[in-house]
Amino acid sequence: MKKVIQSAINVSTALDEVVEEMVQSLSALPSLLVADYSSDLDHNRSVITLLGNEVSLEEAVIRIFQVASARLDISHHTGEHPRIGAVDVVPFTPWRGSSMEECQRLAWRVGERVAKEFGVPVYFYAEASRVPEHRDLSWLRRGGYEALREEIDKVPGRQPDLGPLELHPTLGAVAIGARGPLVAFNVNLDTGDLEVAKYIARKLRGDQGGLRYVKAIGVNLRSRGLVQVSMNLLDFRKSALYQALELVKLEAQRFGVCVKGAEIIGLVPLEALVDVASFYLGIPELKSTQVLEYHLLSLDEAES
């Protein structure tokens, strides 16, 4: 069985030509699949989702940093999404035949190369964290690039795990981690009032008494005249997609606001979608093994 690790690399740009150059730089790497990539103008952010082994993913991250070093300048970046660097977040998630421990070691190894080869401060987060303060990605990114620039050498816990005690002039800093499957789920609202989205996000967040494994922020989609509740579902089995969507709808009713569509960024596990279908179709015992493609993929794996 071939090992498969996922990495959904978050880059602080929505420029198509830069993202395409990054993707093109990965095309010749063996044992690597660019499974998905997308950009959002208002967030000014792109996510490149890769599937590969430890060797291919390590080289992929370095190549993305090489393009970012030549093409991006975080000091001039503006956008709705919190960020600390041009290559902002590099997570590793174990899938087929791989373990969280292997993803931890991969995160640490990649972090050492990034700090050494690019002079970028590196923070290890989630299961790869080495200090308690760095475990929570939202804590690392609080106040964004601007706050970290002022606090990196002054505020306890803000010092990086590796690299200099100052931000790189164009690349900023990076968070590299190991974590379980995460679903990035955004819900758009038919209003331009950002305070509505912020209020609903507070009601959703686990640390505010909402859904335990949900992180959420309110985002202004100026190009579309809408606002958005942007969420990360850290454990879709314990805080489900349908629960997040229904809670957004419920809280939006306070303001006479309706949902104007939703989106998933990057990849989503089949199990999470089956859970949604089970809820809305009223089939409580629906299982992933009842999906035809589940067995077709198993056959392909057995024959490879």
Active site members: 81
Three-class SS string for 58-105? Answer: HHHHHHHHHHHHHHCCHHHCCCCCCCCECEEEEEEEECCCCCHHHHHH
What letters, b where the CB count within 10 A reaches 16 and e where it falls short, cover 32-65? Answer: bebebbebbebbbbbbbbbbbbbebbbbbbebbb
Distance linking the first and last C-alpha atoms of the chain: 9
Whether the Cβ atoms of residue 116 and residue 168 lie closer than 8 Å to each other = no
Whether the Cβ atoms of residue 21 and residue 108 lie closer than 8 Å to each other = no
Burial (CB count within 10 angstroms: exposed 0-12, middle 13-18, buried 19+), residue 158: buried
User: Which residues does 128 contact at the CB level (< 8 Å), separation at least 6?
Assistant: 92, 103, 104, 107, 108, 111, 176, 177, 178
Structure tokens at 112: 């050492």
Nearest C-alpha neighbor of 91 from the set 61, 133, 134, 53: 61
Residue 231 pairs with which residues in a beta bridge? 185, 216
Nearest C-alpha neighbor of 123 from the set 168, 175, 163: 175
Cα separation, 174 vs 221, in Å, equals: 25
Whether the Cβ atoms of residue 69 and residue 42 lie closer than 8 Å to each other = no
Nearest C-alpha neighbor of 190 from the set 253, 114, 143, 120: 253
